[in-house]
Amino acid sequence: MKKPIEIAALSPTEQESPRLVHELQVHQVELEMQNEDLARMRDQLEQSLERYVDLYDFAPVGYFTLTDDGIIREVNLTGAALLGQERERLIGRGFGLFVSKETLPAFRTFLNRVLVGTSKEFGEANLSLEKLPPRYLSLVGVGLKTEHERLCRVATLDITEHHRMEVALQASEARLQSILRVAPVGIGVVRDRIIQDANDALCRLTGYTREELVGRSARQLYLNDEDFDWVGLEKYRQIVERGIGTVEVRWRRQDGASIDIILSSAPLNAADLAQGVTFTVLDITERKQAEELLKLSEARYRAIVEGQTDLVYRCLPDGTLTFVNVAYCRYFGRAPEDLLGTNIAPLVLDTDRADTLAQVLSCDAGHPNNIQEHQVVRADGAHRWMQWHNQAVLDDDNALIEIQGIGRDITEQRAMELELHRLATTDLLTGLFNRRYLLAVLETEIERARRHGRPLALILFDLDHFKQINDTYGHDQGDRVLQAVVAQVRGRLRRSDVFARWGGEEFLILAPETTGSDAVALAETLRAALHERPRFDDELVTASFGVTAYQPEETLDQWLKRADEWMYASKRQGRDRVSGDKVGVP
């Protein structure tokens, strides 16, 4: 059995060993904790670095690190996108390769300032990129000196849209200044009724120089305080109510002469009238003088036209009556107040209305006058024929202002003319068209058929043995026979057919749009119709027919002769028959 060790007999080293072991254990724990802190800090550092890289790469600003000769050392993704290249392809390339020739000198100057300076430098560059539209960059640079070289870091921002807007604004301002310079009206700006600006036209209008106007009260332009105060109150009242103020007033020029003007004003800022208003000035002195002369001329005009027996009216281009004289009112049986402001249309007969209005309103600079005849309706319902001499009233630019018409009643004259025309074109015995009228129609229809290639036919017929009727029973009885034959034939013709007495007992029918075969058929119908009428003294009245279609190569005389030859062929073959050619037969 071993002997126990006594504590008192232990050496000091043996007594401290447990303490040292404990301290080592504590120290080990502390080291492990420090290692955990270091690991945690390392993770945080890595995360921060990743966030920095993300912020660097995806920032909306392009970042570049350039050497002292402009070579790209580093670039973020945004910067690469601005240059339209992949990032890897940009490293080692000169930034100046992407700068336009026009702005390259300025860019190099900016780069030199950054490299030698100690503070931020600012600049701009215009990029010239292949297959891409131009871009404009704003540049901010700062120098960076390392142990071995001098670098610069440049932040870039795409200001293309901003640059475009600046250019557009500059162009707009240039246009505005150009307009202000050449504007034919005076233009200015006032604030608290003190003139802030004035264009050349305003200076010419008032006779003052720009220096004599700008900074001065507008009061110097008015004849008196009453006008000055009234314009201020009235102008601003209108601006408050409808956004713009317009007044007519009289100004005094620098030489003391008075001018009449139209003053129009609008606020620079509708929400704050204190910022001032812009105004335009139009000289209407000559217009005012012209208005006075016009009033005098109008008074003289009325004195003249009111004494006219002819009807006088004036209307706007849309037909609205603006003036009627006493004779006009008396003729239509209406008071002036019932006519003025109304349209002329209700005074025109319905059947003539559309054509009449078109003719009246066709007056213009190219056709300043016309003469027309149409029927009107009076207050008593009577329909009368009027002849009007219409005249366009034009302004100095040949624009239509009004139409003036002078008219007179031609009802009886027209009736007489119609009767004379009827007598000149009609056979008195039968009521048919006469030979002279038919010849005119033949010329027209031949031309139409030739131009449009349309069929046209003639039917010539002569009553058989008509001389025996006249010799045996007298001319009165012969005339009744002619009238009966005409009635029998006319009832079987179309409205488009022209039926005429060719001479004596010869008759001619012009049949438009009719072929030779159709004309032969019509002639057979007419020949048969004569057999249906009551017999004359137990004898039939018959006729011999000649039918022919028009041939484009022949003259009118040749055509008529051919119809005559066919008619006499019917006579030779025994009468009461139809003979004709086959021209135009399908």
Residues shown for the chain: 586
What's the farthest any 2 CA atoms get from each other in the chain? Answer: 201
Which residue type does 253 have? R
* Residue 461, beta-bridge partner list: 507, 545
Average pLDDT on 394-416 reads 89
CB 63 within 8 A of CB 153: yes
CATH homologous superfamily for the domain 59-163: PAS domain (3.30.450.20)
- Of 569 and 473, more confident: 569
Stretch 421-446: mean pLDDT: 89
Q: pTM for this structure?
A: 0.39
pLDDT surpasses 70 at 335? yes
The pLDDT-based confidence of 354 (bands split at 50, 70, 90) is confident
Query: What backbone phi and psi angles, to 5 degrees, belong to 533?
Result: -75, 155
Report, in angstroms and rounded to the nearest whole number, the Rg of the chain calculated over CA atoms: 54
Six-digit token pair at 142? 């700062």
Convert the pLDDT of each residue in 342-353 to its tens digit: 999 889 988 888
- The CB-side HSE value for 412 (13 A sphere, CA atoms) comes to 1
Collapsed DSSP state (helix, strand, coil) of residue 539: strand
Q: Which residue has the higher pLDDT, 191 or 362?
A: 191
Q: With respect to CATH, is domain 308-415 assigned 3.30.450.20?
A: yes
The letter for the amino acid at 372 is Q
Long-range contacts of 36-42 (CB under 8 A, 24+ apart): none
Query: What confidence score (pLDDT) does residue 548 get?
Result: 96
Encoded amino acid at 76, one letter: N
pLDDT at 174: 74
Q: How confident is the model at residue 144 (pLDDT cuts 50, 70, 90)?
A: confident
Q: Tell whether the model's pLDDT for residue 8 goes beyond 80.
A: no
Residue 214 has pLDDT above 90, yes or no: yes
What per-residue confidence (pLDDT) applies to 154? 92
188 has a pLDDT exceeding 60: yes
Q: Which residues pair with 374 in a beta bridge?
A: 386
Residue scoring higher pLDDT (538 or 243): 243
Average pLDDT over residues 257-269: 91
- Residue 65 burial (CB count, 10 A): 17
Work out the burial of residue 98: count CB atoms within 10 Å of its CB; fewer than 13 is exposed, 13-18 middle, 19 or more buried: buried
Is residue 533 over pLDDT 60? yes
The CATH number of the structural domain formed by 426-580 is: 3.30.70.270
Comparing CA positions, the residue from 96, 98, 73, 65 lying closest to residue 84 is 98
Amino acid at 115: L
pLDDT band at 10 (very low <50, low <70, confident <90, very high): very low
The closest alpha carbon to 503, from 440, 436, 551, 561, belongs to: 436
Which regions of 119-160 does DSSP assign to beta strands (E)? Answer: 121-127, 135-145, 150-158
Which of 524, 507, 525, 505 has its CA nearest to residue 465?
Answer: 505
The mean per-residue pLDDT over the stretch 149-159 comes to 90
More confident residue, 424 or 301: 424
Angle between helices 556-572 and 435-452 (to 10 degrees): 110
Kindly tell me if the per-residue pLDDT of 584 is higher than 50: no
User: Residue 510: pLDDT band by 50, 70, 90 thresholds?
Assistant: very high
Tokens of 35: 């290692």
- Contact between 402 and 393 (Cβ < 8 Å): yes
pLDDT for 523: 95
The domain spans of the chain are 21-47, 59-163, 183-283, 308-415, 426-580
Burial of residue 375 (CB within 10 Å: 0-12, 13-18, 19+) is: middle
The pLDDT of residue 583 is above 50: no
Residue 274 banded pLDDT, cuts 50, 70, 90: confident
**pLDDT score for 485:** 92
- Find the mean pLDDT for residues 461-467: 92
Q: Could you tell me which residue, 530 or 581, shows the higher pLDDT?
A: 530
Q: How far apart are CA 182 and CA 170, in angstroms?
A: 18
Angle at 71 between CA 69 and CA 74, to 5 degrees: 135
Please give the residue that has the higher pLDDT: either 352 or 445. 445
- Three-state SS at 120: coil
Q: Is 370 helix (H, G, I), strand (E, B) or coil?
A: strand
Residue 252: how many CB atoms within 10 A of its CB? 17
- At position 333, the amino acid (one-letter code) is G
Q: Work out the pLDDT band at 27, boundaries 50, 70, 90.
A: confident
For residue 229, the model assigns a pLDDT of 93
* The CATH number of domain 183-283, selected from 3.40.50.1980, 3.40.605.10, 3.30.450.20, 2.60.320.10: 3.30.450.20
Indicate if 183-283 has the same CATH topology as 59-163: yes
Whole-number percent of the chain with pLDDT over 70: 89
Closest CA to 276 of 193, 185, 173, 216: 193
Q: What is the pLDDT of residue 7?
A: 42
Strand order in the sheet with 369-377: 321-324, 311-315, 400-409, 383-394, 369-377
Residue 1: which pLDDT band, with cuts at 50, 70 and 90?
very low
Q: What does the pLDDT look like over 51-64, one tens digit per residue?
A: 555 567 777 888 99
Q: Identify which has the larger pLDDT, 472 or 109.
A: 109
Distance between CA atoms of residues 563 and 580, nearest Å? 8
Counting residues of the chain whose pLDDT is more than 90, the rounded percentage is 45
Reduced to 3 states, what is the DSSP secondary structure of residue 154? strand
Average pLDDT, the chain: 86
End-to-end CA distance of the chain: 160
pLDDT for position 50: 54
pLDDT, average across residues 384-391: 92
**What is the band of 257 on the pLDDT scale with cuts at 50, 70, 90?**
very high
Chain-centre distance for alpha carbon 121: 55
pLDDT in tens, 73-99: 999 988 898 888 888 998 999 998 999
The predicted model gives 135-148 an average pLDDT of 87
Q: 5 pLDDT exceeds 70?
A: no
